[in-house]
A and B are shown apart, each in its own frame.
Chain A
C-alpha cells in the first residue's frame, strides 16, 4: 500500500478518519480554525516544521477555496490534492464506493 505512512499537510482539520484508515502521517494543519485567517506566527512555525519533516502533498476538500493550499504548494513544492470529502463532492464520487475509489485515485495521482 503506497499511501501507508505518507506524510501530509491538511488545509482544514477535516480528515481524521481517512488518516486513521490509511495510516497517514499528518504533519500540520494549514488553517487550524476554519473561516479564521491564520497568523503569520502559525505559518512560520508550519514552514519550519515542514523543513524538518517534509510532507508529500496538501489535502483539501474539493468544496474549499484552494488559495491557502496553493500558497503552501508553491513554497514547499508539493502538489495539492483535492478530495471529494463526501458523496457528490467530485463528479466521479457518485456513490459511497466511488467516493473511496476516487479518494484513493486522487491521492495516488498526487504521488506521481
Chain B
C-alpha cells in the first residue's frame, strides 16, 4: 500500500467512522422497534424535497438545497412518528407505502423537468470515494450535535424525537456514502450483535469499522466498486461474528 492509496482510502474510512457513530445506536433502536425500512422512506422523502427545490429554481444554492432536504426529512419523521404511534400494528406496511409514494411522487414531478432525475440519483447514490474535506467537516459537526442530543436529551425516548434525530442522520449519511451503505451500517452491526447483552455497541462498532476497512482493501486489491465491496465485507464479518458467538454459547 503506497501513499497515494492511503490518501484515497483515508477520507472514505473517516466517512465510514462518522456514519457508524450515529447509525449504530440508531440501528439497534430501529431493529428493536421493527421499522427497518424507515431509513429508505426518509431518504426518499428528503430526495423528493430536493426535487421540489430544483423545480423552484434553487439548484445553484447548495446550502438552501440542504435545508430543504433536512426539512423534508423532518416532515417525513413526523409522518413516521404518527404512523408508529397510531398505526402500530401495520407500521411496516405504511412505511413501505410511504417509500413508494415518495419515490413515484418524484417521478411525477420530474416528468416536467429533464434534469432533476440526475439530482435525485445523486441524493440517493452518494459515492464514498468522492468524499471531500468540506463534506467530512460538516458531517462531523452534525454527528457531534446529534450524539449530544441522543446522550443528554430525552429526545430519543419519544416517537417524534427519535425519528427527527434519525431523519437528520440519514439525510447526511445518504449523501456521504449512499443508500446501500447507510442501510448496511444501520442493520448489519445491530443484527450481528442482537443476542449480546454487554458491550453490544462496542462489538457492533468494531464489526462496522472492520467492514469498511476490509471492503476498501478489497476495492484496492481486487479492483471492485468501493461501496458495494464494503456492504459485502461488512455482511460477511457480521455473519462470522454471529456464528462465532453461537458456537461459544
Task: Tell me the A residues contacting B by CB distance below 8 Å.
Answer: 36-44, 47-48, 51, 63-65, 67-68, 70-71, 74-75
Report Cα–Cα, A49/B60, bound state, in Å: 33
Contact-size category for B? 20 to 34
Contacts of A51 in B (CB 8 A): 4
Report Cα–Cα, A64/B5, bound state, in Å: 26
A41, A48, A74, A75 — most chain B CB neighbours (10 Å): A41
Report Cα–Cα, A43/B4, bound state, in Å: 9
Contact A38 B129 (CB under 8 A): yes
Contact A41 B225 (CB under 8 A): no
Report Cα–Cα, A48/B130, bound state, in Å: 17
Report Cα–Cα, A65/B118, bound state, in Å: 7
Which residue of the partner chain, among B118, B130, B220, contacts A44 with CB atoms under 8 Å?
Answer: B220
Scan B210-249; emit 1 where CB is below 8 A from any A CB, else 0. Answer: 0000001001111111111100000000000000000000
Contacts of A43 in B (CB 8 A): 8, 129
Contact B127 A67 (CB under 8 A): yes
Task: Tell me the B residues contacting A by CB distance below 8 Å.
Answer: 2, 4-5, 7-9, 12, 115, 118, 122, 125, 127-130, 132-133, 216, 219-229
Min Cβ gap B172→A in Å is: 15
Contact A41 B4 (CB under 8 A): no
4 smallest beta-carbon distances between A and B, as pairs: A40-B219, A40-B220, A41-B223, A71-B130
Report Cα–Cα, A39/B219, bound state, in Å: 5
Contact B225 A39 (CB under 8 A): yes
Which residue of the partner chain, among A44, A63, A65, A70, contacts B8 with CB atoms under 8 Å?
Answer: A44
Contact B226 A74 (CB under 8 A): no
Contact B8 A40 (CB under 8 A): yes
Contact B132 A36 (CB under 8 A): no
Which residue of the partner chain, among B130, B221, B225, contacts A36 with CB atoms under 8 Å?
Answer: B225
Contact A37 B226 (CB under 8 A): yes
Min Cβ gap B65→A in Å is: 13
What are 20 pairs between A and B in contact, CB < 8 Å? A37-B227, A37-B228, A38-B226, A39-B220, A39-B222, A39-B226, A40-B8, A40-B12, A40-B219, A42-B223, A44-B4, A48-B2, A48-B4, A67-B122, A67-B127, A67-B130, A68-B130, A70-B130, A74-B133, A75-B7
B125, B226, B228 — most chain A CB neighbours (10 Å): B226
Report Cα–Cα, A70/B62, bound state, in Å: 15
Contacts of A68 in B (CB 8 A): 127, 130
Contact A71 B132 (CB under 8 A): yes
Q: Which residue of B has the minimal Cβ distance to A33?
A: B225
Contact A63 B115 (CB under 8 A): yes
Q: Which residue of A has the minimal Cβ distance to B224?
A: A39
Contact A37 B129 (CB under 8 A): yes
Contacts of A75 in B (CB 8 A): 7
Contacts of A64 in B (CB 8 A): 118
Contacts of B224 in A (CB 8 A): 39
Q: Which residue of A has the minimal Cβ distance to B175?
A: A67
Contacts of A39 in B (CB 8 A): 219-220, 222-226, 229
Contact B127 A41 (CB under 8 A): no
Report Cα–Cα, A38/B129, bound state, in Å: 8
Report Cα–Cα, A68/B226, bound state, in Å: 14
Contact A41 B132 (CB under 8 A): no
Min Cβ gap A35→B in Å is: 9
Contact A74 B132 (CB under 8 A): yes
Report Cα–Cα, A75/B219, bound state, in Å: 20
